[in-house]
Structure 1
Amino acid sequence: MPASKGSRNAVSSAVQQIVLSPSDADYLDQLIPAIKDAAHSNRTAQLLQGLSQFADNHESEIEGVCNTNHQEFVNSVNQLLQVREGTVRLTSEILDLNQSIQASTEKLAEHKKALVDSRSVRQNIDEAAQALEDCLEVLRLTNHVHDLLATKNHYAALRALDELQNVHLREVPQYKIAEMIQKSVPAIQKLIAEAVMTDLKTWLFRIRETSQFLGEVAFYHTELRRTRQKERAEKDPFFRNFKLNSAMDLVSDETDEFDVLDNDEVQVDFSPLFECLHIHEALGESEKFRAEYAATRRQQKDLLLPTSIRLVGDDEGGSLSALLESIAGFAIVERATMKKAFNLRSTVDVDELWDSMCQSAINLITQSLPDIDDADALLKIKGVIALFIQTMENWGYSVAALDSFLLTLFDKYAELLKQKFSRDFLEIVSADDYMPMPIQTSEEYEKVVNVSWYTPEKEQSDISFPCVLPFSQMYPLCCIDIRNFLNQFYFFSDDHFQHPSVIDETLKKSLDELLAQKVCRLLVDRLSSQYLGQIVQILINLEHFETACVELEQLLLAARSPASAGKSVALNATEEFRSNKKTAEKRIFELVNSKIDDLIETAEYDWMAPAAQTEPSNYIQTLTRYLSNIMSSVLLGLPTEIKELIYFDALSHAATMILALPLSADVPTINRNGVAALALDVQHLSQFVDSLGVPILRENLDELQQTVNLLQSDNSDEYYDVSTRNKKYGRVDPMNGPLLLEKLTQGMQSSGRTDKYTTLSSRFGKK
C-alpha cells in the first residue's frame, strides 16, 4: 500500500535533518532516532527509499553541476561515488544496526516486562512485609500487655491494650490476626481486671491484718493528746472548760499534727486501691467495682468481729482492746478511703458499717458483763471504750450508741460499787469495838481529823497525847470508805462520759442507800445490845454520821455538774441518822431505867418497922453511885443536853418507881418508921441531884418529895384543903395521896394510935 503523504513528508523531513547535520556525530544522532522510528513504524523501506531518492536528487544536482564544470563534476562524481559507497556501507551498517537495535529493543522489552513483573512482585513483597510488620507490631503489643500483666503494671497494660485496640488494630483490620486479637481484647481486659482485683484483695488482706496495729497507734496518739490536754488544763484553768476533740483542743494540737496512716510505725499505701478504681473506671465497670468492694469490706468486717470476747481475767483489757483497736483501724481506713476516693465509698455505706461494728461490739461486751464482779475491772473496760470513743470521734464518726452504752456500764459499775462498799461497811460495823477511839500521836490525830467530818472543840496544839476521840474507830473508817466511794464514782466520768447528771443522781441515790440501809440500819440493829456503853457509843456515832451527811450534802452540791446546778441535795440518810438518834436515846433510857428498876427492886423497906432507920438504904446508895458512874464514864462522851435528858428521864423514872413501892398492893399498912426510912432515902437522892448542879433535875423529885412530906406532916388534913394542897402538895397525885394516907392510918391503927386518923378514915368511909 503506497505510503501516505503524511508519512512521506515525515521521512523527507528526517532525511533532510540527517543530511543537513553539521557533523558526523550529529549525523548519527539524527540517523539513529530515524532508524528506530522507522523500525518501530515499519517504515525502514520508506527511509531507504527517501535516502535513495535524496541520493538520486543529489546526483542529478551533481550531474548538473558537472555539466557546467566537468572537472568539478568528475570530482564531485568521485566524491559522490565515495559518498555512495559510504552510503551503501552506511546503509548496510544501518541495516545491521537496525537489526541490532531491533534485537536490543526486543531484549529491552523483555527486560522491561521482567522489570514490571519484578516491580509488582516487589510491591507485593513490600506490602506483605509491611503487613507482616504491622501484624508483628500488634503481636508485640499484645505480648507487651501480657508482660506488663506479669510484672503487675496493670494500668500500663490497660493503656497498652487501649492503644492496641484503638490504633494498631484499626491499621490492620483486613487481617485474620487482627480479628482474633480484637476478639481476645475483652478476655485480656478481664485478665487485667482480675489481676488488679487480686492485688486489691491482697492489699485488703494486709489492711485487715494491719487494722489492729493501726488502731493501737491511733489509741496511743489519742492518749498523748489526752496528756497534752491535761497539761494545758493544769497550766491554765481556762482549758478545763474544753474536752478532748473540742474546737479549742484541735486548735491547740495543730502544732502536733500526726498522720495515723503514714508515720514511723505504720504506712498505709492506697496506690493499689487507686489503680484498681482507675482501671475499672477505664473499663466502664465502676459500679460493679464499687459493689464488689463494698461486699468485700462487709465480709472483712464480719471476719474482724469474734464470736465472743473475754473480759474476766483480762487484767490489761487485751481482748477488748484488740477488738476495739481492730474496729478503729478498719473504720479509719474506711474514712480515709472515702476522703481519698470520692466516688468509691459513700457516707451512708461507711456509716452503716460503723454502726454495725459498734452494735456488734456492744453486744459482745454485754454478753460478758454478767461475769464482771469487780468495779475496778469495769472501770478499766470503760477506760478502753472511752479511748475508743474519743479516737473515733476525732475521725467524724457518730458515737451516740457507745455513749448510751456507757450508761449501761455505769449502772453496772454503780451496782458493783454499792455491793463492794456494802461489804466493807458491814465488815467495819461488825468489827468495831464501840469504844471511843484512842489516839496516840499528833500525826495519827491529824490523819483521822482529815479523813473524818469532825470539828474538834480544841486546837490540835492544845491537845495532849494520847487522847480519846468521841466516836469509835468505825466512824473514820466509814468516812474513808465514803470518800473512796465518791472518788470511784467520779472516776467513771474521767476522760469521757456525756451524762454527768446521771452520775450526780446515781451517786446521791447510792450513797443514800449505803448510809441509810447499811450503816444506819446496822447501827440500829446493834441497839438491841444490853451493854449501855455500846449503845451510848452508837448514839455518838449516829450523831457524827448525821454531821457527816450534812457535810456530804454540801460536798455533793459543790461537785454537781453544770447540768444539775441549782438543784438542792438532800440525803434521806440525814433524817435516818437524826431519827435513829432518838431510837438510841430511847434504848439508853430503857437500859438505864431497867437498871434503876433492878436496883429499886432490891429495896427492902420494913413499912411497919419498930424503930427508925438511921442510914440510907443500900439500894438508894447503889442507885446514886450508878447514876454518878455512868455520867462520869459511860455517858461522858454524850453532849450535855443529851446527858441532861438521860438524867432527867432516869431520875423521873427512879422517883416514879420509888413512889410505887409504898403504893404497891403488897403494902397494906405503913407506919412512921417506914415513912422515915423512905424520907431518908429520898433525902439522899435529893442531895445527889443537888450535887449535879442542874436545878431542873430537882423537879423530877418534887412529887416524891412532896408525897414524903405529906406522910411526915403532923396535920395531914391540910391536904384536903385545896389552897393549902396546891401550895404544899401540888405535885402529889390526887389518887396516890389519899391512898398513902390511908395506909399510914391503918398502920398507925394497927400500932394502937388511932387519934386523928380515925376521924380521917371515917371521913372517906373506909374500913
Structure 2
Amino acid sequence: MDKLEARIRNHDREIEKMCNHHFQGFVDSITELLKVRGEAQKLKVQVTETNQKLQNDGKQLLDAMDELRQCRLQQRNIATTIDKLTHCLPVLEMYSRLQEQMRAKRYYPALCTLEQLEQTCLPKAGQYRFCSIMADNIPRLRTHIRDVSMSDLKDFLESIRKHSDKIGETAMKQAQVQRSLDNALTHQQRAGSGRRSRKEAGQGTELDGQGGSPLSEQDSGILDVEDEEEEDDEVPGAHDLVDFSPVYRCLHIYTVLGARDTFENYYRKQRRKQARLVLQPHSNMHETLEGYSRYFNQIVGFFVVEDHVLHTTQGLVNRAYVEELWELALSKTIAALRTHSSYCTDPDLILDLKNLTVLFTDTLQGYGFPVNQLFDMLLEMRDQYGEMLLKKWNQSFRQILDQDNYSPIPVATEEEHKRIAGHFPFNDPEWEKMPFPKKLPFSEFVPKFYSQLKEFIYACLKYSEDLHLSSTEIDDMIRKSTNLLLTRTLSNCLQYAIKKKNVGLAELVQIIINTTHLEQSCHYLEEFISNITSVPPDTVGATKLYGTSTFKDARHAAEEEIYTNLNQKIDQFLQLADYDWMAPQGGGQASDYLSDLIAFLCSTFAVFTHLPGKVAQTACMSACKHLSTSLLQLLLEADVRQVSMGALQQFNVDVKECERFARAGPVPGFQGDTLLLAFIDLRQLLDLFTQWDWSTYLADYGRPTSKYLRVNPHTALALLEKISQAMKDTSRKNNMFAQFRKNERDKQKLIDTVVKQLRNLISSHQS
C-alpha cells in the first residue's frame, strides 16, 4: 500500500508538471475560442439564412424529385406486373380454352390442352393461388375426361350392337350391287365373244334389300342418312354410316393417359361378348328367310366394324384377334345353319337361304375373310336340298298320275299340236301325215312328266349357281340329282301307278305306251342339260342319265302287271266253271264261262294294238299258257275224284274252243300256230284219252318223235285213276245185284293194266 501511495504521488506530480507546462497554451486556446465563438455565431446565422434560402429555393425541386421517385416506383411495378401477367395470361387463356373444350365435349383436344397447361404454362406462371387451384384440379379433369370418353365408347358399342344388322344390310347390298355389275359385265363379254347364253336357265333368287340406313345417336357412331329410292341413290358404304370418332377419341385419350393397354383389353373383351351375342341365332330363325337375313346382317355388320377398326387404328385390334373372332364366327355360323336348315322342309326356302348365304360369303370375302368352309357347307346343304326336291317332285308326279285319264291326247288343230310339242319332243312322220283331228299315242302325263323333269333340272341348276363350281361339276351334280329323281322318285311313282288297286288293263297298256315315249325322250334331256351347263354330252367321265333303264323297268313292271291282271281275270272266269264230272256224255258247245272268257280276251287284246308287238304277243302267250295250265289244274284237282268220259268230252270241246281262239290270231305277229303251243300239253293229254291210244304212248315214251311227248305219266296216271273210279262207280250203280258185263270187265282190266304200266314207268324213271 505504501508503494502504491508513493506511486500515486509520483503520478500526481507528473500530472501537475504537465498541466503547468500546458496551462498557457490552454489559456491561449480559450481566448482564441472565445474569439471564434463570435465568428461562429455569425457564420451560424449566415448558414441559417442561407439554408432557409436554399430550402425555399429547393422545395419545388424536392417535390419534383418526389414525384419522379413515385413515377419510377410505379414504372418498376408496372414492368413487374406486365412480366407476371405475361406468364399468367397464357395459363388463364389455356384454362379458358380447356373449359370451352370440356363444355363442347371435345375431350381429346381438352386433354392435350390440359397436358400443355400442366407441363408448360403453370411452371412458368409461378406460385399463385389460382395456379395451385388449377394444378389441384388437373387430376380430377383427367379422370372426368377418361370417364366421359369411356361412357361415349360404351354408348358407341351399344349402338353398333343394336345397328349391326343395318350396317350388315348395307354392306351386303353393296356386295349385291357389285355382283350384279360383275354378272352384267360377264354377260356382255360372253355376248361379245359370240358365246351362246344359257337358255331358259332359272335365275338365282336374290335379296331385294330396302335402301334404309341406321338412325343417328349423339356420340353413338351412327350417322343419319335419308332413305331414298334405290335406283336414284348410290348404296352408302359402311364407313358412310358409322362414325368411328368415339373409338378414335377414346383410344387417343387413353394413349395420352398412358392406359392404352387397359383400353385395348376392354374394347376387345366387350366386342367378344357382342360377337357371342350376335352369333347366337333365334330359336325360330328357320321359319322364315327374314330370320336368316337378320342373323347374317348382324354378323356382317360386326365384322365390317372390326375390319374398319383394324385398318384405321394402329394396334387397337390386330389381324390375329380378328382371325380368332372369325374362326369363332365361322364355326358358330356353320353349326347354326346346319341345325336350323335341317328343320326346313321347303326347297324354295332352302334355295333362298343358299342365295342369301352366297351373298353373305361374297360380302365377307370382299373384306378379306376366308369363306371356303361356308361354300363346303353349302355343298353339304345341296344334298338336303336335293332330298327336298325329290319329296316335292314325288308329290307332283303322284298328283299328275292321279289326275291322268290314261287316254291318248286328242289334237284338233295345229295350234294344239304346237302347244303340246312345246312341252314334249314328239317326232313321228307317219303321225304328222294324219289329218286333224287326231290323237297322240300317249296320255297327258307324258308332257307333264317331261316338263317336271326340266323344272327339276332348273331347280338343281339354281342351287349350283354362284357356288364357284366349274361347268363340269355343275353338269355332274345336275345329272346325279336327275338320276336320283329318275331311279328313285319317278320309278316309285310309276310303280305306285302300276301297283295301285283297281288299275285296269287299259291303264296299264297306256302306261307302257307312255313310258316308251318317255324313254325315247331321254336323249333330249341329255341335250337339255348339256345346253344349260355348256358341257358336251360326250365329255370324258360325264355321268349318263339312267332314264332309259328307269322307263324300261317301269314298262316291264307294267307288262308283268298286265300278265298278272290277265291271269287274275282268267282265274275269275274259271271260278265260274261248273263241270258235271260225272256227265254221261258231253255237249256240243263250249261252256258258257269259257265263251265269256274268250270274248273278254278278244276285247282285251284289241286294246293291245298300240303296244309294242312283243309285249302284246307275250301277254297273249302268257294268258293262253295260264289258261291251259289252269284248265289242267281244274281237271286234276284233288276235289275231283271221278271224271266220266262224257265230262272229258265236254272238257275237250272247251279246249278246242280255246284252240280256235289261239288259231284266230288275237294278236298279230305269231308265226304259224305258235300260239297253239300253249295248249299242246292239254291237247296231247285229251287226245290220248279220247283216242285211248295207250299202246302208242307206252311204246314211244321217252322218244323225241313221240306223238304224246308232252304228256307227263304222273298226269296221265292221275286222270286215268279218276276215270277208272268213275267207271267203277257207274258200273256198281247200274249192276247193283249183278256182275259186270263182259266188255266193262275187259275195259276195267285194260285200265288196271295201263295203270300198272304207268306206275312201273314212273318208278323206273325215278330210280
Within the candidate set 746, 754, 757, 1:764 is matched to 754
User: 1:644 offset after TM fit, Å?
Assistant: 0.9
Aligned to 1:186: 139
Q: Which has the larger radius of gyration?
A: 1
**What code does the residue aligned with 1:733 have?**
V
Unaligned stretches of 5+ in structure 1?
Answer: 1-91, 245-257
Deviations 1:485-524 (A, max 9, x none): 3332332233347796896698368526742674144235
1:146 aligned to 2:99?
A: yes
Aligned to 2:299: 327
TM-score, structure 2 as length reference? 0.68
User: 1:395 offset after TM fit, Å?
Assistant: 1.0
Deviations 1:112-169 (A, max 9, x none): 7996787467535532442244224322221222123323444443443343333322
Within the candidate set 643, 650, 654, 2:623 is matched to 650
Question: Contact 1:149–1:195 (CA<8 Å) still a contact in 2?
Answer: no
Aligned to 1:687: 663
Aligned to 2:178: 225
Counterpart-to-counterpart distance in 2, 1:533 and 1:541:
12
Question: Contact 1:557–1:568 (CA<8 Å) still a contact in 2?
Answer: no
**What code does the residue aligned with 2:505 have?**
L
Root-mean-square deviation (CA, aligned residues, Å) is 5.3
Once the two structures are overlaid, the 10-residue window that deviates more, 223-232 or 579-588, is 579-588
Change (3 A) 1:407 1:740: closer
Question: Contact 2:442–2:510 (CA<8 Å) still a contact in 1?
Answer: yes
Once the two structures are overlaid, the 10-residue window that deviates more, 336-345 or 615-624, is 615-624
1:631 aligned to 2:605?
A: yes
* Residues matched between the structures, number: 655
Structure 1 residues 14-413: aligned runs within 5 Å: 119=72, 122-124=75-77, 126-197=79-150, 211-237=164-190, 260-261=236-237, 266-271=240-245, 273-298=247-272, 301=275, 308=282, 310-311=284-285, 314=288, 317-356=289-328, 372-400=344-372, 402-403=374-375, 405-406=377-378, 409-410=381-382, 412-413=384-385
User: 1:608 offset after TM fit, Å?
Assistant: 9.4
**What code does the residue aligned with 1:333 have?**
V
User: 1:302 offset after TM fit, Å?
Assistant: 6.4
Once the two structures are overlaid, the 10-residue window that deviates more, 138-147 or 435-444, is 435-444
Aligned to 1:700: 678
Counterpart-to-counterpart distance in 2, 1:352 and 1:480:
49
Change (3 A) 1:173 1:614: same
Within the candidate set 459, 462, 465, 1:494 is matched to 465
Once the two structures are overlaid, the 10-residue window that deviates more, 640-649 or 483-492, is 483-492
Aligned to 2:564: 590
Counterpart-to-counterpart distance in 1, 2:312 and 2:431:
70
Question: Contact 1:219–1:387 (CA<8 Å) still a contact in 2?
Answer: yes
1:641 aligned to 2:617?
A: no
Question: Contact 1:609–1:673 (CA<8 Å) still a contact in 2?
Answer: no
Change (3 A) 1:550 1:618: farther
Question: Contact 1:554–1:569 (CA<8 Å) still a contact in 2?
Answer: no
Change (3 A) 1:364 1:604: closer
Aligned to 1:511: 485
Counterpart-to-counterpart distance in 1, 2:651 and 2:338:
83
1:666 aligned to 2:637?
A: no
**What code does the residue aligned with 1:147 have?**
E
Question: Contact 2:174–2:237 (CA<8 Å) still a contact in 1?
Answer: no
Counterpart-to-counterpart distance in 1, 2:459 and 2:178:
24
Aligned to 1:461: 432
**What code does the residue aligned with 2:308 have?**
A
Aligned to 1:532: 505
Counterpart-to-counterpart distance in 2, 1:296 and 1:679:
97
**What code does the residue aligned with 1:645 have?**
T
Aligned to 1:424: 396
User: 1:188 offset after TM fit, Å?
Assistant: 3.3
User: 1:731 offset after TM fit, Å?
Assistant: 3.6
* SS of 1:490 mapped into structure 2: helix
Counterpart-to-counterpart distance in 2, 1:727 and 1:111:
179
Change (3 A) 1:693 1:666: farther
Aligned to 2:700: 722
User: 1:279 offset after TM fit, Å?
Assistant: 4.2
Deviations 1:234-265 (A, max 9, x none): 33348999xx9xxxxxxxxxxxxx885379xx
Within the candidate set 725, 730, 733, 2:711 is matched to 733
Aligned to 2:454: 483
Question: Contact 1:439–1:445 (CA<8 Å) still a contact in 2?
Answer: yes
Change (3 A) 1:363 1:617: closer
Counterpart-to-counterpart distance in 1, 2:651 and 2:402:
51
User: 1:467 offset after TM fit, Å?
Assistant: 4.2
Change (3 A) 1:740 1:211: closer
**What code does the residue aligned with 1:628 have?**
C
Counterpart-to-counterpart distance in 1, 2:283 and 2:344:
13
Deviations 1:499-552 (A, max 9, x none): 9689669836852674267414423531x5473334444555566676678987
Deviations 1:684-740 (A, max 9, x none): 345324994512323334444445555666977444443997546154415256887
TM-score, structure 1 as length reference? 0.68
Change (3 A) 1:455 1:719: farther
**What code does the residue aligned with 1:699 have?**
L
Once the two structures are overlaid, the 10-residue window that deviates more, 747-756 or 481-490, is 747-756
* SS of 1:492 mapped into structure 2: helix
- With a CA cutoff of 8 Å and minimum separation of 6, indicate the structure with the bigger relative contact order: 2
Question: Contact 1:671–1:747 (CA<8 Å) still a contact in 2?
Answer: no
* SS of 2:367 mapped into structure 1: coil
Change (3 A) 1:458 1:754: farther
User: 1:645 offset after TM fit, Å?
Assistant: 1.0
Question: Contact 2:164–2:299 (CA<8 Å) still a contact in 1?
Answer: yes
Counterpart-to-counterpart distance in 2, 1:276 and 1:622:
102
* SS of 2:282 mapped into structure 1: coil
Structure 1 residues 741-752: aligned runs within 5 Å: none
Once the two structures are overlaid, the 10-residue window that deviates more, 467-476 or 225-234, is 467-476
**What code does the residue aligned with 1:481 have?**
Q
Q: Kindly, what percent of the aligned residue pairs are identical?
A: 25
**What code does the residue aligned with 1:488 have?**
A
Counterpart-to-counterpart distance in 1, 2:436 and 2:157:
74
Counterpart-to-counterpart distance in 1, 2:272 and 2:662:
95
Counterpart-to-counterpart distance in 2, 1:307 and 1:604:
77
Change (3 A) 1:110 1:641: same
User: 1:430 offset after TM fit, Å?
Assistant: 3.9
Once the two structures are overlaid, the 10-residue window that deviates more, 595-604 or 498-507, is 498-507
Change (3 A) 1:325 1:603: closer
Unaligned stretches of 5+ in structure 2?
Answer: 1-44, 199-203, 205-233, 732-740, 758-767
Deviations 1:324-343 (A, max 9, x none): 33432332232122112233
